[in-house]
Amino acid sequence: MTNSPTRPVALITGASRGIGRAIALRLAAAHDLVLVARDGEHLASVARDCEASGARVQTLALDVRDGQATVAALTGLHVDVLVNNAGVAVMKPFLEMTAEEWNRQVDVNVNALYHVTQALLPGMVQRGRGHVCIIGSTAGRNTFVGGTCYTGTKHFVMGFAESLMLEVRDAGVGVSVITPGSVATELFPEGTNTTWMLEPANIADAVAFAVTAPPHMLVHRLEVRPLSPKRPRSSF
């Protein structure tokens, strides 16, 4: 996919499961895809599902925490839409958090944004079009006990996204940040009641809305919430 394709190409990080998988399936009808995650086996499964919708799919088994490997794998790819979705969360009091847990969240939620975006954004700017979409969180504008690192990384996402938007909009590149509330994924511990939460497909719909807006229109910040934690989805 190094040459100009007939359909726009979307690259999605963290694409092997959860929200990333849902985004890939949602975009597959109109985009060719580059799917990135550490788990090559799960990526292959997602790729088959996306190909059934008509997408050409390239998979990259890649740890986006590794800056050198990321630059080597992504530099030169033709990508029209970048979805920075990869993320991790460790919810525990600060005094109980290990250095490894802290650094892992910062590496995935913050530093990987640099590695991936730095590799692909120059091509968008050169072509005069493109879209960078980042999956943030409502934790990027609030706080809670046990969220010292996670909410810090999501606050970073909000500042990064808005600053980047102002830098590249005159070059024809849009920057969006999708901020979900609670989503029923593996992020939550086993036994958590997720029946009231958003589904990954809801976030995929929000991404599709943002990245397929008319060229003169930018959906920069889109917050998506469950209607009520007191009402399961099945009650609607």
SS (H, E, C) the chain: CCCCCCCCEEEEECCCCHHHHHHHHHHCCCCEEEEEECCHHHHHHHHHHHHCCCCCEEEEECCCCCHHHHHHHHCCCCCCEEEECCCCCCCCCHHHCCHHHHHHHHHHHHHHHHHHHHHHHHHHHHHCCEEEEEECCHHHCCCCCCCHHHHHHHHHHHHHHHHHHHHHHHHCEEEEEEEECCECCCCCCCCCCCCCCECHHHHHHHHHHHHCCCCCCCCCEEEECCCCCCCCHHHC
Average pLDDT over residues 120-145: 97
- Residue 88: pLDDT above 90? yes
Beta carbons of 24 and 35 less than 8 angstroms apart:
yes
Beta carbons of 142 and 227 less than 8 angstroms apart:
no
- Residue 1: pLDDT above 60? no
- Whole-prediction pTM: 0.95
- Residue 64: pLDDT above 90? yes
Q: Where are the domains of the chain?
A: 9-235
- Residue 142: pLDDT above 70? yes
What pLDDT shows up at residue 227?
95
What pLDDT shows up at residue 190?
83
Average pLDDT over residues 6-25: 97
Rg (CA), the chain: 17
Given 150, 153, 164, 221, which residue is catalytic?
150
Q: What is the dihedral sign for C-alpha 44, 48, 53, 58? A: positive
Average pLDDT over residues 32-51: 96
- Would you call 114 a catalytic residue per the annotation? no
Average pLDDT over residues 163-191: 94
What pLDDT shows up at residue 91?
93
d(CA 1, CA 18): 25
Q: In the β-sheet with 130-135, what is the strand arrangement from edge to edge?
A: 57-61, 32-37, 9-13, 81-84, 130-135, 173-180, 221-224
What pLDDT shows up at residue 191?
86
- Residue 79: pLDDT above 80? yes
pLDDT band at residue 188 under the 50/70/90 scheme: confident
Superfamily of domain 9-235: NAD(P)-binding Rossmann-like Domain (3.40.50.720)
- Residue 5: pLDDT above 80? no
Report the percentage of the chain scoring pLDDT > 70: 98
Average pLDDT over residues 95-104: 98
pLDDT band at residue 208 under the 50/70/90 scheme: very high
